[in-house]
Amino acid sequence: MPKQSAPQELAAIAPKLVEITDEVLFGDVWERPGLSPRDRSLVTVSVLAALYRTEQLGYHLGVALDNGLSVAELSEAITHLAFYAGWPNAMTAVNQLKKVAEERDAG
């Protein structure tokens, strides 16, 4: 998986946030050996969906696919989350998954 980074266009307004995101979150936390990138993606997508963090969810769904999760596995995780995180959150997440999957099929 290519190294992740914060959107660089944000560096002009929040350079320290971008630096910390790149160095600490993606440079340290995501690289720790305790969980595989696949498992980290499943946890991340689950939390973003549960908390209705839609701005970050689409990006991380793509990362999850890159890290070896399938559309079917992500769909199943989102369906499971519906009972714990709420139906609207799950429906929004599955719509984002559909868009990401369609974009990848088209590309």
What does the domain layout of the chain look like in residue ranges? 36-106
Q: What is the pTM of this model?
A: 0.88
CA distance 55 to 76: 21
**Amino acid 6: pLDDT:** 65
Closest of 3, 78, 80 to residue 45, by C-alpha = 78
Residue 15 has which token pair?
């350079």
Q: What class is the 36-106 domain?
A: mainly alpha
Q: Which two tokens stand for residue 53?
A: 């963090």
Q: What is the pLDDT along the chain (107 residues), one digit of tens a residue?
A: 445 666 778 888 999 999 999 999 989 999 999 999 999 999 999 999 999 999 999 999 999 999 999 999 999 999 999 999 999 999 999 999 999 999 999 97
86: left (phi over 0), alpha (psi -120 to 50) or beta: left
